[in-house]
Structure 1
Amino acid sequence: MTRRSNRATKFTITLLAGLAFTGASASAQQCGGDFRQFLAGVKQEAVSKGLSARAADQTLAGAQIDRKVLSRDRAQGVFKMTFLDFSKRVISGYRMKNGAANMQKYASIFDRTEREYGVPAPVITAFWALETDFGAVQGDFNTVNALATLAHDCRRPELFRPQLIAAIEMVQHGDLNPRTTTGAWAGEIGMVQMLPEDIIKFGRDGDGDGHVRLKKSAPDAILTAGAFINHLGWRAGEPWLQEVTVPQNLNWADTGLGKSKTGAQWAALGVQPRWGQISSNLPASLLLPQGRKGPAFLAYPNYNIYLEWNQSFVYTTSAAYFATRLAGAPRYNAGNPEPGLNDAQMKQLQTKLSNMGYDVGKVDGILGAGTRSAVQQVQQKLGMPADAWPTPALLSRL
């Protein structure tokens, strides 16, 4: 699951119906309608932005609707796995071994990336591993077809139409072949899975060949990822996530994203590091992915950058934890979390919470931010430990 395909879901979709019907002019047709007329409008817009008509024709002439892309878009899932299950699945011995080997192999470009952008090697390496297994699995969807399909579709044209125009610019620069360039179903390209607009803005030539080739050049991918993460607000020299132990008399209602204390304040409450030293002066949130009896982490400001990359709490916490492992941290203490809810139970819980007036968003069986917040509030009202972890006991109480 890639950052941008998830990030697409947080865009508010506002469609003007008059722009989507078949009879609209090519310049006004933002989505839908006759596909060739739609592409003509894309070409017109690209030329109006200074791109060449020749590059637009090269890019769009053979573009086709890809029904598999639409199927993936309609069926895309968000993590329903627990943190422990997901992190154990994706942080394998293979990825740990190859991550360490790649950090050594590309040490010079990683050093350059940290000097220029402040982003350390383990952070980029963890994303590189989780996104494409170090370039081994980059996707086999034709990139132009994927972007044209999603731009023509009227679910998120405000995201994908600009990406299609950016693809034209990449063709003009010689960095994308419209017939042979492939990637993820949502149009992301390369070892760290980036969309064309991001590649144009943040693409960096790490190997000095005059091109940004994120599919084949690890130095290009590493330097580009560093530039992009820096743009998201990475704070050089600061930690991102740290596993800790917590006392059992903690006020659990103080835990969770959006609630923070300084490292020194957490330490005064009995929170202790399992590795390294707590950063006393930095604000941090105490994360309990599976409640007070599971693993616990302090999330520092740099953790928020992971949420910019991918909005799934399970994915981001796993990626951030993976980066700490690559930096030398030990395996987490999994603890003994209370059993969670299955899909049907989670939907039942969300329905009950929604009926009580809590905003849990869509009843989808996903333990997202809204559901976690509602669970924590209800736990407080019921006098239960407010650790935001929904259990059968909570469901029974409701």
Structure 2
Amino acid sequence: MRLLPTVLAAITAASPLFAQCGGSFSSFVKGLEEEAISRGHDPATVNAFFDSARQDDKVLRADRAQGVFQKPFIEFSRRLISQDRINRGQSNAQKYDAIFNKIERDYGVSRGVLLAFWAFETDYGAFQGDFNTLNALVTLSHDCRRPELFRPQIFAALELYKHGDFDPRNTTGAWAGEIGMVQMLPEDILENGVDGDGDGHVMLKTSAPDALMSGGKMLSSLGWRPGEPWIQEVTLPANMDWSLTGLEESRTVQQWAQMGVLPRTGSLPNANMQASILLPQGHKGPAFIAYPNFRVYFEWNQSFTYVMTAAYFATRLEGAPVYDAGNPDQGLSGGQMKQLQTKLQARGHDVGAVDGILGANTRAAVRVEQARLGLPVDGWPTPALLGRL
């Protein structure tokens, strides 16, 4: 199950004539119905669609409990990647070989990429979530934390309902409204859904061909570059300038090679391709070179830890070895991370919410402070850095 809502949806503001969020839930739903009718939908269809909508407190609890992303890359990846998942991934690659061949031909997305998403999102379709999707979307739209992310999905689900591809009473999925084997939001299904099995419907819950083809098309629409790699493990020279690492920094593959960056296995791709060096747990931990396709992952999920793990697992499914974990410096606990974020805020850094999660803003602030204090600029916060601050 996806643990953060996607940013794929076009974030559109609802008309001020209708309830935006909060207030009476029944009045809020009534406002949604009025808005749907104002958009030209048949009133009887609208009434039937919203008739079963209920507020779901379990959705709100799930939205506020995403502690898994506090785990560092090595722990998180070891938790999600098992030999059993690799074996089943390879088995599914054979079972759906013709579908993967078509995806690679039509969209240029390598099979390992979709197999990794399929594994992490739903364990190859086994656990797709049991939250009523309409209730989840309406609940999150009524909640005033991030209504702009979820409100457009309600009207996309209404379109799917009219097509016969969504049941407001029985369609279930993740707490954030994603549906099916690769967990796509209704708007994404509407825009990128593909009838992979030729039955005239896009059913991502029950049809692996539909789900995989739709996922491939969505990645393509997000800018996936056909036939190009996404990430690769590398070894770095001892005299590496750590300040050059991180997603904010980019060089050509040739420039990195001239600095002494070497692939741990295989060879580096096109010398002119832009790439970044990533150190998910600092300069003493595993190291990867990330190519333009890696950035597309963040359109699927915004968590750096999830993205790194999904991208790496995709390479494992295609034959890459287990990464060299190295010997990273000790990281921070969730409580220590919150202390760090508070200290960084006090120094004028924008770290977003003080949530104990090492997100992009916190990493960027850590790099600035590491440079100021004469520490290796690798974006990995340690107790020593916390103490110096």
Using the alignment, how far apart are the partners of 2:181 and 2:119 within structure 1? 9
Q: Does the CA contact (< 8 Å) of 1:15 and 1:154 recur in 2?
A: no
Equivalent in 338, 341, 353 of residue 350 of structure 1:
341
Q: Does the CA contact (< 8 Å) of 2:243 and 2:378 recur in 1?
A: yes
Equivalent in 279, 302, 321 of residue 312 of structure 2:
321
Q: Does the CA contact (< 8 Å) of 2:8 and 2:299 recur in 1?
A: no
What's 2:293 paired with?
Answer: 302
Secondary structure, aligned partner of 2:203: coil
Alignment of 1:70-149 (within 5 A): 70-77=60-67, 79-149=69-139
Listed as ranges, the gaps of 5+ residues in structure 2 are none
Secondary structure, aligned partner of 1:243: strand
What's 2:245 paired with?
Answer: 255
Q: Does the CA contact (< 8 Å) of 1:175 and 1:213 recur in 2?
A: yes
Q: Is 1:183 paired with 2:173?
A: yes
Listed as ranges, the gaps of 5+ residues in structure 1 are 20-26
Q: Does the CA contact (< 8 Å) of 2:179 and 2:204 recur in 1?
A: yes
Q: Does the CA contact (< 8 Å) of 1:263 and 1:282 recur in 2?
A: yes
What's 1:211 paired with?
Answer: 201
Residues 319-348 of structure 1 deviation map (CA, whole Å, 9 limit, x = unaligned): 000001111111101111111112222222
What's 1:365 paired with?
Answer: 356
Using the alignment, how far apart are the partners of 1:77 and 1:145 within structure 2? 23
Using the alignment, how far apart are the partners of 2:165 and 2:9 within structure 1? 28
Q: Does the CA contact (< 8 Å) of 1:82 and 1:290 recur in 2?
A: yes
Using the alignment, how far apart are the partners of 1:365 and 1:4 within structure 2? 16
Q: Does the CA contact (< 8 Å) of 1:306 and 1:316 recur in 2?
A: yes
State the TM-score, normalizing by the size of structure 1.
Answer: 0.92
Cα deviation for residue 184 of structure 1 reads 0.9
Q: 1:381 to 1:158 in 2, by over 3 A?
A: closer
Equivalent in 29, 40, 51 of residue 30 of structure 2:
40
Equivalent in 227, 230, 233 of residue 240 of structure 1:
230
Paired residues in the alignment total: 388
Residues 34-54 of structure 1 deviation map (CA, whole Å, 9 limit, x = unaligned): 333332332232233333333
What's 2:212 paired with?
Answer: 222
Using the alignment, how far apart are the partners of 2:9 and 2:370 within structure 1? 29
Residues 92-151 of structure 1 deviation map (CA, whole Å, 9 limit, x = unaligned): 111101111111100101111111111111111100100000110111111111112222
Using the alignment, how far apart are the partners of 1:207 and 1:107 within structure 2? 14
Cα deviation for residue 193 of structure 1 reads 0.6
What's 2:145 paired with?
Answer: 155
What's 2:49 paired with?
Answer: 59
Residues 277-336 of structure 1 deviation map (CA, whole Å, 9 limit, x = unaligned): 112211110000111111000000000011111111110000000001111111101111
Cα deviation for residue 246 of structure 1 reads 0.4
Equivalent in 153, 160, 163 of residue 173 of structure 1:
163
Q: Point out the more displaced range, 75-84 or 256-265.
A: 75-84
Cα deviation for residue 11 of structure 1 reads 7.2
What's 1:284 paired with?
Answer: 275
State the TM-score, normalizing by the size of structure 2.
Answer: 0.94
Q: Does the CA contact (< 8 Å) of 1:360 and 1:371 recur in 2?
A: yes
Using the alignment, how far apart are the partners of 2:272 and 2:200 within structure 1? 43
Secondary structure, aligned partner of 1:285: strand
Using the alignment, how far apart are the partners of 1:392 and 1:123 within structure 2? 35
Cα deviation for residue 10 of structure 1 reads 12
Using the alignment, how far apart are the partners of 1:124 and 1:90 within structure 2? 15
Secondary structure, aligned partner of 2:240: coil
The alignment-based identity, stated in percent, is 59
Equivalent in 364, 371, 386 of residue 395 of structure 1:
386
Q: Does the CA contact (< 8 Å) of 2:4 and 2:302 recur in 1?
A: no
Secondary structure, aligned partner of 1:75: coil
Q: Does the CA contact (< 8 Å) of 2:18 and 2:34 recur in 1?
A: no
What's 2:154 paired with?
Answer: 164
Residues 359-378 of structure 1 deviation map (CA, whole Å, 9 limit, x = unaligned): 22222222111221122222
